[in-house]
Amino acid sequence: MRTLHEIYLEEQKLYEEKQDRLKAQEQAEKEWWEAIMRVQDEKAFVLEVMKCEGAATSRKIVG
């Protein structure tokens, strides 16, 4: 049979593992948000360029 101290140490180790997993999950979520923001910024930029190019093309056709 294990001692109370051994059980306590295992419990502490499991708690620390849980904390590490939570930190890793938080970091992964932060990285995901940064990536999605970059993609959305890029999409907005491309849409703006397309809008400007469309306006320029329209002026050439009309003019």
Q: How far is CA 4 from CA 8, 10, 15, 34, in A?
A: 6, 10, 16, 45
* Residue 6 falls inside a structural domain: no
Three-class SS of residue 63?
coil
* Residue 1 falls inside a structural domain: no
* Residue 11 falls inside a structural domain: no
pLDDT in tens, the chain (63 residues): 999 999 999 999 999 999 999 999 999 999 999 999 999 999 999 999 999 888 666 666 655
Q: What token pair was written down for 10? A: 């295992």
Q: Is 33 left (phi over 0), alpha (psi -120 to 50) or beta?
A: alpha
pTM over 0.85: no
From CA 36, how far away is CA 42, in angstroms rounded? Answer: 10
Range of the domain at 46: 38-62
